[in-house]
Amino acid sequence: MNFRDHIRSHIAPGERALEFGASYSPILRKSAGFNVSVVDHANADELRRKYADDPNVDVAMIEEVDAIDDGAELDVLLPSGERFAHIVASHVFEHLTDPIHFLQRCERALSDTGRLYLLIPDRRYTFDYFRPVSTTGQVLQAFVDGRRRHNVGALYDQAAYSATRGGAAVWGPGSPGPFGMPGVAHAGYDNALGADPATYRDCHAWVFTASSFRLIMQELRELGLISLGETFFHDCLGCEFLMVLQRGARGSGLDRLALAQQAMRENIEHDGGAPEQAAYELRSPHPQNALDLMRGSWVGSLPPALGLSAGTRSDLWDDVRMRWLAETLGGLQGRDVLELGPLEAAHTAALLQAGARSVLAIEANRQAFLKCLIVKELCGLRDASFVLGDFMGFFAADARRWPLIVASGVLYHMANPLQLLEALAERTDTLFLWTHVIDDTAMPQGDARRDLVASVENIAWRGRTVRYHRRAPYGQGQQQAPIFCGGLVHAPAWMERDALLQVLATLGFDDVRIANDEPDHPAGPALSILARRSVAAQTTG
C-alpha cells in the first residue's frame, strides 16, 4: 500500500476536497484534476521563497494557496450551504497548537459522510524517538487554554531531544544504524525562551505512536468533543501511519484497556541493543518473555487470568461465534476437528473447551504459526496440533473426512473461494464458516466499504453464474507487516451473501443456520454459518 495513492483512490473527480499544508508535496494536485482547496500557513509565493534554496525541494510542485490558516471556519471556502466530502492533512496534526479545535473545524466543514484523512509520523521512526507520547489530558489542556502558540515545553523538547538513526532524521521499521542525539539542552532552552514570544515558532508539539493516537481519538469521541469515528486505520509504512475519520462512523470498537496496553508496548519498543545480545533472553524465565518474541504483532489479548500482555482484541478468547457453534451442536464431545487458519489459537482453545477430542489446525502464515505454538505452551492445549502450510495443498494430499471443519476468517482471503468450498464439502458433513460477504442491501453503491473492490468477475459454476468481487491488491509490503493476518493471495475474491448460501445448498448442505449477522461490520458485512447435511453422505458433484 502507498498511503498517498490510497487517499487519491478514494476521491472521485469533482468531489469537493480540502488539503491542509500541501506545500511542496501536495497529495491532491489541482493540476491533476482534483477539485481541491488548499489551506497553508503562507501563500504560494512565500512558500516558493522559503524553499528556493533547498536542493531537496521542487518549488514547481507548490500550487496556489486558497486560504491562510488562521483558525477560522473552513466553510468560507465554499458557496453557502456546501461542505467538503474529503479533508486531507499529511504531517500537519503534530504541528497543531490545538488539535481538538482543528478536528471540530474539520467536522463542521465535512458533509454528512465526509472523511478526514490523517497521515501522522510515529515517534518510533522519527527525530521524536526520545520524546514521550502525548496524552488526551495534554490535548484537552491545549483546548481549554485556546492555545494559539506552542508552549515552552514543546519548543524545548523538540530541540533538546532531537534524535537520528544512522544519521537520518526519519527511518522505518527494521532500519539499521546506531541512534544519535544531536539535540542538546542549551539548544532546547534557546529555542523555547530565546526568541520573541509573540512570534509563532513551529515544532512537533504532539508525539504519537500508532496506538496512542488511536486511543486519543477514541477518548475524544467518548467525551463528546468530536463525533468523527475511525473508519480506516493502517499501521506504519515507513515513518507514518494512516487514520481515516468519518462523520457518522461508529469508530474502531477496540477495547480501551487493550489499546492502552498496546500503546505502552509501542512506546517502549527499542531495537538498538547490542547484536550479540539479540539472540538471548536476559530476563528471568517468565511466560511473558515468549509473548515478547512477537511483540507488536499480536492481534488478540490473552485471558485476563493469565496476567500476560499480547494484542488489543479482548473478544477472541470468549468469542460469541465459537460459543454459538458449540451450543448449536450441543457440545463438541468426541469430535476430531479440522481448523483452517487458527491465527493465534484462541478459537482452537475454545473448540477444545467445548469438548473436542482433538483439533488439527493448519496455518500458512509463519508468524501466526509460531504464535500458535507459544499459546499452545502457555495455555496447555495438549490436544491441539498445529501444522505449517497451505491447507489447499493439505487437501490435495489428504482426503480423510472430518466430523467438523471450522474455517473462520478464511473464505474471503481466497482467490477462488468456490474451490475451497468444494474441498470442504468433500471432507465434512458439518461445516462452520465465518466470513465477510458482499451484500447489496447492507452496503449499497456508495458505501465506503466498497472502495476496495477493484473488479467484478462472472464465474461459471455448475450451471450458474457466481460473481466474484475481486479486492484491490495488497500494497507493497502490506503482507509483510508485523500485524498482517490475511491470506496468501494478493487480490482475494469476496462472494455475495445469497450466492454463498446457494452454493452451500448445491453442495448438499440442506440445514444451514446463520448467526452473528453483522451488516455494519467496518470491513464489510459478515456472518457465521453452520452448514450441515441432514443425511450424511459424501457429495459427488
By DSSP bridging, strand 453-461 and strand 464-471 are antiparallel
Q: Which amino acid is at 265?
A: R
Q: What's the pLDDT score for residue 447?
A: 86
Q: Map 180-247 to HEC letters.
A: ECCCCHHHHHHHHHCCCCCCCCCCCCCCCCHHHHHHHHHHHHHCCCCCEEEEEEEEEECCEEEEEEEE
Q: What's the pLDDT score for residue 310?
A: 84
Q: What's the pLDDT score for residue 487?
A: 56
Q: What's the pLDDT score for residue 484?
A: 43
* Partners of 104 in beta bridges: none
Whether pLDDT at 127 is above 50: yes
Q: What's the pLDDT score for residue 483?
A: 41
Distance CA 275, CA 254 (A): 36
Average pLDDT over residues 380-389: 97
Span of 3-12, 325-334, 373-382, 471-480 with lowest mean pLDDT: 471-480
Cell matching residue 443: 452496503
Whether pLDDT at 537 is above 80: no
Whether 170 contacts 239, CB under 8 Å: yes
Whether pLDDT at 252 is above 90: no
Whether 246 contacts 198, CB under 8 Å: no
Closest CA to 482 of 371, 383, 349, 403: 371
Q: What's the pLDDT score for residue 276?
A: 43
Whether 165 contacts 175, CB under 8 Å: yes
User: Percentage helix, strand, coil, to 5, in the chain?
Assistant: 35, 25, 45
The CA-based angle 415-417-420, given to 5 degrees, is 115
Whether pLDDT at 105 is above 90: yes
Band of pLDDT at residue 479, cut at 50, 70 and 90 = very low
The alpha carbon of 540 is separated from its chain's Cα centroid by a whole number of angstroms, namely 42
pLDDT, one tens digit per residue, over 274-284 is 444 456 777 78
pLDDT, one tens digit per residue, over 137-164 is 999 999 999 999 999 999 999 999 999 9
Whether pLDDT at 25 is above 50: yes
Whether 301 contacts 314, CB under 8 Å: yes
Q: Give the Cβ contact number of residue 192 at 10 Å.
A: 22
Ramachandran quadrant class, 521 (left: phi over 0; alpha: psi -120 to 50; beta: rest): beta
Distance CA 153, CA 133 (A): 13
Average pLDDT of the residues of the chain:
89
Whether pLDDT at 259 is above 90: no
Number of H helices, E strands in the chain: 15, 19
Average pLDDT over residues 416-441: 97
Distance CA 423, CA 202 (A): 61
The kind and range of the H/E element at 320 are helix 320-328
Whether pLDDT at 192 is above 90: no
Q: What's the pLDDT score for residue 311?
A: 80
The DSSP-derived string for 444-458 is: -TT-GGGGGEEEEEE
The CA-based angle 227-67-59, given to 5 degrees, is 115
> 17: number of CA atoms within 13 Å, CB side?
26
What one-character DSSP code corresponds to residue 11? S
Whether pLDDT at 333 is above 70: yes
Cell matching residue 374: 507459544
Distance CA 407, CA 405 (A): 7
Span of 1-10, 142-151, 156-165, 479-488 with lowest mean pLDDT: 479-488
Band of pLDDT at residue 273, cut at 50, 70 and 90 = very low
Average pLDDT over residues 281-290: 84
The kind and range of the H/E element at 379 are helix 366-379
By DSSP bridging, strand 228-237 and strand 240-247 are antiparallel
Whether pLDDT at 401 is above 60: yes
* Partners of 126 in beta bridges: 170
Distance CA 163, CA 126 (A): 7
Q: Where are the alpha helices (DSSP H) in 31-135?
A: 44-51, 99-109
Whether pLDDT at 85 is above 80: yes
Whether pLDDT at 480 is above 50: no
Closest CA to 287 of 310, 270, 318: 310
Span of 173-177, 307-311, 439-443 with lowest mean pLDDT: 173-177
Whether pLDDT at 539 is above 50: no
Structural domains of the chain, with CATH: 3-265 (3.40.50.150), 315-532 (3.40.50.150)
pLDDT, one tens digit per residue, over 359-383 is 999 999 999 999 999 999 999 999 9
Q: What's the pLDDT score for residue 292?
A: 83
Distances (CA, A) of 268 to 137, 159, 217, 394, 509: 20, 21, 21, 41, 51
pLDDT, one tens digit per residue, over 27-81 is 999 999 999 999 998 999 999 999 998 888 898 999 999 988 888 888 777 777 7
By DSSP bridging, strand 110-121 and strand 240-247 are antiparallel
Q: What's the pLDDT score for residue 486?
A: 56
Radius of gyration of the chain (CA): 26
**Range with top average pLDDT, 27-36, 191-200, 430-439:** 430-439
Distance CA 453, CA 446 (A): 12
Burial of 59 (0-12, 13-18, 19+ CB in 10 A): middle
Whether 206 contacts 217, CB under 8 Å: no
Cell matching residue 85: 466530502
Span of 69-78, 220-229, 256-265, 415-424 with lowest mean pLDDT: 69-78
The two most distant CA atoms of the chain are separated, in Å, by: 85
The kind and range of the H/E element at 461 are strand 453-461
